[in-house]
Amino acid sequence: MQRLLQPPPTRIQLQSRLLITAAVFLFLYATVLTLSPAARERTWDTAYRWTHWLGYASWCFSIGMIHWQVRRKAPESDPYLLPVAALLSGWGLLTIWRLLPDFGLRQAVWMILCALLVFLGLRKPGLLRALRRYKYVWLVSGLLLMSLTLIFGTNPMGGSQRLWLGCCGFYLQPSEPLKLLLVVYLAAYLADRMPLKLRLFTLLAPTLLLTGIALLLLFVQRDLGTASVFIFIYASSLYFASGRKRALLASGALILLGGLAGYFAFDVVRLRIDAWLNPWLDPSGRSYQIVQSLLAIANGGILGRGIGIGNPGLVPVAHSDFIFASIAEETGLAGTVGLLLAIGLFTARGMTIAISAANRFQRLLAAGLTTYLSAQSILIIGGNLRLLPLTGITLPFVSYGGSSLVVSFVSVLILMQISLTEEEEPAPLPMTQPYRLLPALLGLGLLAAALVNGWWAVARSPALLTRTDNARRAIADRFVMRGSLLDQHNTPITVTLGESGDYTRAYLYPDLAPVTGYTHPSFGQAGLEASLDNYLRGLQGNPASLIWWNQLLYGTPPPGLDVRLTLDLELQAQADELLGDRAGAVVLLNAKNGEILAMASHPSYDPNRLDQIGETVAGSPSAPLLNRATQGQYPPGEALSPILDVLNIRMEKEIQSLYTSFGLYETPDLRMPVAIASDPKEPLLVSPLQMALAAAAVSGNGVRPAARIAQAVNIHPQGWVILPPNSGPVEALPPADARSVSQALNIPDTNFWQCRGQARRDGSVYSWYLAGTDANWQGTPLAVAVVLEANRPDLAESIGQKLLGTAVE
């Protein structure tokens, strides 16, 4: 209580303290932005960002100038408005600079222009009276400017909406000042007429006419977001003046009806509403913007990725319509809640000024301006958050855009002028309801925005961030070392080369491409690169605390872990050489523990050249991307007939039961993409891997092992940690049966058994060859399966025999 007794700071003292806090905030912001490349590349030796300090300097200059003028001319004006406007505009300016330095420079110039306007405006105490007196002049000139866009309109961003008037690199969007002028006009007109409470419609005719003209212009220009802001301004002004809730309800109905009519009449509206209702249907097309915005917000999380460390540039028009998403990504929920609170503070102060205004005109003007700025903020923030349909309007003070910034600062100027008259007795307030209900509505809007932001940033964040259209994963790959794929003797197969910021994936053994797959920024991931992604990306195997810490510090996963495969590159090279350019697949595995020693699938492609050949191979009829060894589906045909003969199996039912115990109706469970096994009720299709496992059951004394491709992962500091198979071995045949099969099918003078056969389907002929070590073999039992997409059983046999021969040596 002691502190309460101290004299409170004067208004100008309070304003200067708040401005200093805002300046400190922006200083820290700019500092982090300068240092951010160091965190991205995880080294101090990097190119730092400096240019945005020019933006900071121009902000300091602008705000300092206004503050100096307020101290001289209007020390008793409201001390909160300028600091909030300064905080938001500086935050916006630096965010724009961080995204697009050229646009940041332009915004800085506009900022100084705004400061000059406010500087001059504060010297004109008759400003409010002039606004009231010449209300028609202002509004009509605004409408004229707006209608000029019909003839001379341009779009500096090259879009189809021609909403700007431009000359010599200087562009004005007349719909922005028109909003302000409409508020002024309505306040002046209604303040003059409102005490006469009767004949509402005759009274409103002129305002309806002028607002109607404005709306018509906007509809012709397809600027529907601004049109809805206009309807809202009109409705709230009427409500403030008359206190009739009907005004609000009618305009709500009008916006709804307009939206519905627009849905059927304008493509733009339909697109926006469809994208709002169900963005997940077309995330790469119509709802690309909103989905990317949500991804940015999700990436922000609670604390944000850090200024300059996130990737808000992935959202289209991030500096203008989607600046809220950028802020959400880099400062997180903590930052955006602060932003929403600042808007709430502005709204509360504006309403306080309105209530204590000295006359009805000033009250309506203050209330109208506050509602307009606040509602527009909620509308576009809601659009960014998918709380409301997306409208192409700016976030006042924050978004890029000179017209918007000027109008926002002129609004602050007017509000400060009105607050100066607080010295006088407030005008009588006959109806308090509008001044309670509308601020409450706006507050609810801000609260809803904060809650929805939390929903995307916390609850839905993990699900959103793993989406394949989240380009942040591919960007993280450029900055964080990805784990290597090694063969069983630790010979590298696929590695990451280069420096942080410029890491690229190199495929040292391109023939293995269908098996190891690729990881590519635009084609995504395939093969082992996809199925082992969590290890290679460091999200699995590393302690959770390390992953969390890296995510917090850098917004990326920790450096990836190396994975050792069961493949033997020597055997692999021979398999590839033997298969040559024939379409087919070879699988060689250890029949005891299921380790895959060689897996070839041809035709292959060179993943190092995916940039150039990606489109071609993806559409190629020979399907080089397909791993035929595990995903290829071939009819077994006669391939297993010799075994059936040895076991004397003739009945259809018995055959199916043997096939079942061989695992032909069972999807192999290993850490790579495989084809789903056939349903027993449908014609049987098998992959070479399944056939190799069946052969392994013969060679392994009737026990069918579980296949393995990933052997171990190199975790610091433990070293190589074995990745156990996903399932266990299965008893497929009685050992006696397995022995009799391998003896019956034995190749004379060797320890091998073999069988081969043809299969036909849809006019194509396939050749199968299965082989393995027999029961007398003392070493590691091996099994091999070969399939050729041609009628060449002899060739299949020679490939299998040669490979097996090399493998036992």
Total residues in contact with other proteins, by rule CB under 8 A = 57
Spacing of C-alpha 195 from chain mean position: 53
328 binds other proteins (CB under 8 A): no
Phi/psi-derived region of residue 668, left when phi > 0, alpha when psi is between -120 and 50, beta in every other case: beta
Q: Which of 141, 161, 359, 608 binds other proteins (CB under 8 A)?
A: 359
How many C-beta neighbours within 10 Å does residue 92 have?
A: 30
C-alpha–C-alpha distance, residues 401 and 176, integer Å:
10
Using the minimum distance from each CB to other proteins, give the nearer residue, 423 or 762.
423
Contact string 30-69 vs other proteins (x = CB under 8 A) = -xx--xx-xx--xxx-------------------------
Site for other proteins in 497-536 (CB under 8 A): none
Using the minimum distance from each CB to other proteins, give the nearer residue, 14 or 508.
14
Q: How far is the CB of 562 from other proteins (least distance, A)?
A: 23
Q: What is the DSSP string of 510-553?
A: GGGHHHH--EETTTEE-HHHHHTHHHHTTSSSS-HHHHHHHHHH
Binding region for other proteins (CB under 8 A) out of 98-106, 342-350, 514-522, 744-752 = 342-350
155 binds other proteins (CB under 8 A): no
21 binds other proteins (CB under 8 A): yes
358 binds other proteins (CB under 8 A): yes
736 binds other proteins (CB under 8 A): no
Burial label for 460, CB within 10 Å (0-12, 13-18, 19+), is middle
Residue carrying the six token digits 């289209």: 316
124 binds other proteins (CB under 8 A): no
Using the minimum distance from each CB to other proteins, give the nearer residue, 197 or 760.
197
716 binds other proteins (CB under 8 A): no
How many C-beta neighbours within 10 Å does residue 145 have?
A: 17
Q: Which of 334, 459, 618, 736 binds other proteins (CB under 8 A)?
A: 334
Which strands form 719-722's sheet, in the order they lie side by side? 504-507, 492-497, 485-486, 563-565, 710-715, 719-722
Q: How far is the CB of 550 from other proteins (least distance, A)?
A: 8
Q: What is the DSSP string of 310-371?
A: S-GGGSTTTTTTTHHHHHHHHHHHHHHHHHHHHHHHHHHHHHHHHHT-SSHHHHHHHHHHHH
715 binds other proteins (CB under 8 A): no
Q: Which of 55, 83, 104, 312 binds other proteins (CB under 8 A)?
A: 83
Using the minimum distance from each CB to other proteins, give the nearer residue, 120 or 334.
334
Is-contact 59 109, C-beta < 8 A?
no
Binding region for other proteins (CB under 8 A) out of 14-22, 507-515, 530-538, 670-678 = 14-22
Q: Which of 65, 100, 268, 553 binds other proteins (CB under 8 A)?
A: 553
Q: How far is the CB of 335 from other proteins (least distance, A)?
A: 6
Q: Which of 18, 145, 271, 765 binds other proteins (CB under 8 A)?
A: 18
C-alpha–C-alpha distance, residues 47 and 36, integer Å:
10
Using the minimum distance from each CB to other proteins, give the nearer residue, 18 or 213.
18
432 binds other proteins (CB under 8 A): no
Q: What b/e sequence results for 181-212 when a residue is b if at least 16 CB atoms lie within 10 Å of its CB, and e otherwise?
A: bbbbbbbbbbbeebeeeeeeeebbeebeebbe
Q: Which of 105, 184, 191, 385 binds other proteins (CB under 8 A)?
A: 191
Q: How far is the CB of 321 from other proteins (least distance, A)?
A: 23
Is-contact 167 213, C-beta < 8 A?
no
Of 30, 60, 69, 34, residue with least CA distance to 48 = 34
342 binds other proteins (CB under 8 A): yes
Binding region for other proteins (CB under 8 A) out of 4-12, 57-65, 114-122, 559-567 = 4-12
Is 691 strand, coil or helix? helix
Binding region for other proteins (CB under 8 A) out of 160-168, 306-314, 391-399, 496-504 = 306-314
Site for other proteins in 218-277 (CB under 8 A): none
Side chain identity at 453, as an amino acid letter? N
335 binds other proteins (CB under 8 A): yes
126 binds other proteins (CB under 8 A): no
Is-contact 47 37, C-beta < 8 A?
yes
Using the minimum distance from each CB to other proteins, give the nearer residue, 352 or 531.
352
Q: How far is the CB of 354 from other proteins (least distance, A)?
A: 15
Q: How far is the CB of 194 from other proteins (least distance, A)?
A: 9
Alpha helices in 532-651 (DSSP H): 533-536, 544-554, 569-579, 610-619, 628-631, 641-647
C-alpha–C-alpha distance, residues 625 and 377, integer Å:
48
Bond preceding residue 603 cis, omega within 30 of 0: yes
Taking the CA atoms of 522, 528, 532 and 535 in sequence, report the sign of the dihedral they define: negative
Q: Which of 5, 167, 425, 719 binds other proteins (CB under 8 A)?
A: 425
22 binds other proteins (CB under 8 A): yes
Phi/psi-derived region of residue 396, left when phi > 0, alpha when psi is between -120 and 50, beta in every other case: beta
Taking the CA atoms of 591, 592, 595 and 597 in sequence, report the sign of the dihedral they define: negative
Binding region for other proteins (CB under 8 A) out of 550-558, 669-677, 730-738, 780-788 = 550-558
The DSSP letter of residue 457 is: I
Of 292, 345, 279, 348, residue with least CA distance to 321 = 292
C-alpha–C-alpha distance, residues 403 and 145, integer Å:
13
Binding region for other proteins (CB under 8 A) out of 77-85, 491-499, 505-513, 514-522 = 77-85
29 binds other proteins (CB under 8 A): yes
The DSSP letter of residue 134 is: T
Angle, to 10 degrees, between the axis of helix 224-242 and the axis of helix 245-265? 170
Binding region for other proteins (CB under 8 A) out of 168-176, 326-334, 654-662, 725-733 = 326-334
8 binds other proteins (CB under 8 A): yes
Query: What are the residues binding other proteins (CB under 8 A)?
Result: 4, 8-9, 14, 17-18, 21-22, 24-25, 28-29, 31-32, 35-36, 38-39, 42-44, 79-80, 83-84, 87, 191-192, 195, 197, 303-304, 306-307, 309, 331-332, 334-335, 338-339, 341-342, 345, 348, 358-362, 424-425, 427-428, 552-554
